[in-house]
Amino acid sequence: MKQASYHKLLASAGFAWLFDAMDVGMLSFVITAVTKEWHLTSAQAGLIGSVSSLGMAIGAVVFGILADRYSRQSVLIFSLLTFSIFNGLSALVSSYLLFLMLRFLIGCGLGGELPVASTLVSENAPEAVRGRTVVLLESFWAGGWLVAAVVSYLLIPRFGWRAALLLTSLTALYALFLRSSLKRHAPKSVRSVKKLPLPVRLAQLFSPEHRRATLMLWIVWFMVVFSYYGMFLWLPSVLVMRGYSIVQSFGYVMIMTLAQLPGYFMAAWCIEKWGRKATLVFFLVGAALAAIVFGWAQSLAILLIAGMLLSFFNLGAWGALYAYSPEQYPADIRGTGTGIAAGVGRIGGILGPVLVGYLLQAKVSIAVIFIIFFVAIIIAAGTVSVLGTETKQSTEKLQRD
């Protein structure tokens, strides 16, 4: 594929990724706002994040399977439209239950877009920079979080959370541009992948050749998503619990979010120099240590430094994981394998936010809660170390038919 075309494909898919990140990032601020407006308990607030993750789990599996059956491009656009339309509708409701239902549908679109986009970009990037390219795709996530933090800081205190959600729903317009861009820049070879029946694809995931990789990915995805959504969806609320105002907490989270981009760029450099496996383990261990410091931090300075380190290492690990995952499978089962792994991870995303809500309601300290996330991330790092294999410059995993 020509260099200019793959760069344009990266940018096109990247902005779709950015809009997804805007929604997830903004949800952490929206949860804080609706908790106050609707007088929700910590458990009810945690359920909002968990329902979103449930939708993401189902969306990742369903859209991932569809991406191996139909065009990757069409599935990507449909998932973006799903997320955008229901996001706009969620801004119009005043019922907690209806809001939960819409958050589930939004999650389905979000969960489907991420693995399909990473698979599409991975298949079309030049082999020499494939890992770096997928991490750069992931870096758009940091941009989305940063936009979400800025918009939430400026918009929600003044105009309310509904205005923020209506703004994110305008991403449906981007789907029109995305359709045209993918048609021009995604090559025919991606659309000509062999179409295997679903039972055959599922069986291949657990064949002797792939079952070690499948087990590794499922464990790592679960632990990473469990810790990420458990920690990051609660960041503004945790700061409010520590005595800071909503406006202050939004501003502090915005500062922490700034460290996400350097984390991605560092991971993008390391992944081609050190390899996928070593880079992923390094960033996971760094995220685990940062979680411990954040949980025990008392002063504002330590809290901000630990939060920035948590953003740096956690999001760098995400970038490495998205680059590593598609390389575990051949083209004919890649969307299915990556999508189901992401779906298993979203189960962790369901449990993380609701667990934090119940633990806070039970008066469990923030320090103890973050020890749980430390353990989860260390398990992920250990799993990659023991079960993972290096895929850098591996051609057989990404060979096209």
Determine, yes or no, domain membership for 164: yes
Q: What's the CA gap between 218 and 210, in Å, rounded? A: 12
Q: What's the CA gap between 255 and 259, in Å, rounded? A: 8
List, run by run, the mean pLDDT of 10-residue segments along the chain (401 residues).
Answer: 62 78 80 86 82 83 77 79 86 91 90 76 72 75 80 83 84 66 53 65 86 93 91 80 75 81 85 88 96 88 90 89 85 81 84 86 88 96 91 52 41
Do 65 and 336 contact (CB within 8 A), yes or no? Answer: yes
Which CATH number belongs to the domain containing residue 174 in this structure?
A: 1.20.1250.20
Do 9 and 120 contact (CB within 8 A), yes or no? Answer: yes
pLDDT of residue 395: 40
Determine, yes or no, domain membership for 189: no
Helix axes of 130-159 and 161-169: crossing angle, nearest 10 degrees = 140
Tokens at 385, concatenated: 């170390």
Determine, yes or no, domain membership for 21: yes
Determine, yes or no, domain membership for 23: yes
Look up the pTM and report it. Answer: 0.72
Domain encompassing residue 335: 7-181+198-387
pLDDT of residue 176: 64
Q: What's the CA gap between 183 and 163, in Å, rounded? A: 33
Q: What's the CA gap between 337 and 207, in Å, rounded? A: 12
Q: What's the CA gap between 234 and 142, in Å, rounded? A: 17
Q: In 186-299, which residue ranges form alpha helices assigned H by DSSP?
A: 188-191, 198-205, 211-232, 235-241, 246-257, 260-273, 276-296
Determine, yes or no, domain membership for 290: yes
Number of domains observed in the structure of the chain: 1
Do 304 and 256 contact (CB within 8 A), yes or no? Answer: yes
Phi, psi of 396 (to 5 degrees): -70, -25
Determine, yes or no, domain membership for 42: yes
Do 286 and 309 contact (CB within 8 A), yes or no? Answer: yes
pLDDT of residue 289: 96
pLDDT of residue 399: 43
pLDDT of residue 217: 94
Dihedral of the CA atoms 46, 216, 11, 130 (nearest 10)? Answer: 160
pLDDT of residue 105: 92
Determine, yes or no, domain membership for 85: yes
Determine, yes or no, domain membership for 392: no
pLDDT of residue 36: 84
